[in-house]
């Protein structure tokens, strides 16, 4: 089976655990994902399974892409991603096979979620990097939210790359690890993860099994 799925962020809510604790959760529609291509060591020099998620109009994709996914389905997909297989994928995951959320995840698993964070536009150093700013008195004049000196006069006499300065904030690929699956609703293909995940509602997410997951750990030990 696959090591992860493609999903869409629905939003956040709260649920009660079996112990009676109220925990914040993110609701993710994870799948169903359709297998588009199975890659093997003999043909592609590595093992993986390419899956598609989200319907897309055929007129909005290239003819080459329509031919690529045509072996699996007549529909076009909005997102295509590859995941490692945790078994004999060629025997179980043929093109056109739908992978549901209950086939990959279960309650208690630990996952890592990758998404694109919300774009904040151009931001200063106080908001972007949490600088403290300058004193509000004692002679400070029109220099309250600046970043201060960025270089020096001695060797090498230049501003180093990566210097924390004002600029675009957000709209970056972010991965949040060690998120616990609180509940799996198989009939609706929903995942309820404890905590928050990157991105806005409706954003595309990649949910992968973490190394801390009991299933992932068991699989890695068996491979060795």
Instruction: Give me the helices (H) in 45-123, please.
Output: 63-69, 89-92, 101-104
**Is-cis flag, bond preceding 17, omega within 30?**
no
Mean pLDDT, range 25-40, rounded to an integer? 90
What domains sit in the chain, N to C, each tagged with a CATH number? 4-122+174-223 (2.40.30.10), 123-169 (no CATH)
Per-residue pLDDT tens over the stretch 46-73: 888 999 998 888 788 888 888 888 877 7
Mean pLDDT, range 140-159, rounded to an integer? 85
Mean pLDDT, range 187-207, rounded to an integer? 93
Whole-model pTM: value is: 0.79
Confidence of residue 1 (pLDDT cuts 50, 70, 90): confident
């Amino acid at each position: 089976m696959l090591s992860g799925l493609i999903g869409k962020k629905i939003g956040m809510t709260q649920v009660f655990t079996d112990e009676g604790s109220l925990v914040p959760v993110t609701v993710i529609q994870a799948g169903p994902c359709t297998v588009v291509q199975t890659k093997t060591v003999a043909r592609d020099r590595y093992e993986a399974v390419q899956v598609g998620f989200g319907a897309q109009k055929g007129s909005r994709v290239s003819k080459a892409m329509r031919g690529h996914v045509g072996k699996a389905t007549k529909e076009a997909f909005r997102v295509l991603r590859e995941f490692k297989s945790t078994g004999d994928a060629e025997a179980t995951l043929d093109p056109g096979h739908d992978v549901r959320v209950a086939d990959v995840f279960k309650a208690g698993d630990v996952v890592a979620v990758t998404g694109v964070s919300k774009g904040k536009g151009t931001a200063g150093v106080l908001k972007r990097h949490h600088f403290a700013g300058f004193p509000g008195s004692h002679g400070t004049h029109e220099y309250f939210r600046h970043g201060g000196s960025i270089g020096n006069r001695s060797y090498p006499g230049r501003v180093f790359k990566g210097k924390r300065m004002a600029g675009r904030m957000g709209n970056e690929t972010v991965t949040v690890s060690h998120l616990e699956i609180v509940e799996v609703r198989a009939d609706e293909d929903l995942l309820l993860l404890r905590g928050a995940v990157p991105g806005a509602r409706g954003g595309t997410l990649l949910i992968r099994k973490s190394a801390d997951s009991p299933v992932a750990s068991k699989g890695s030990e068996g491979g060795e």
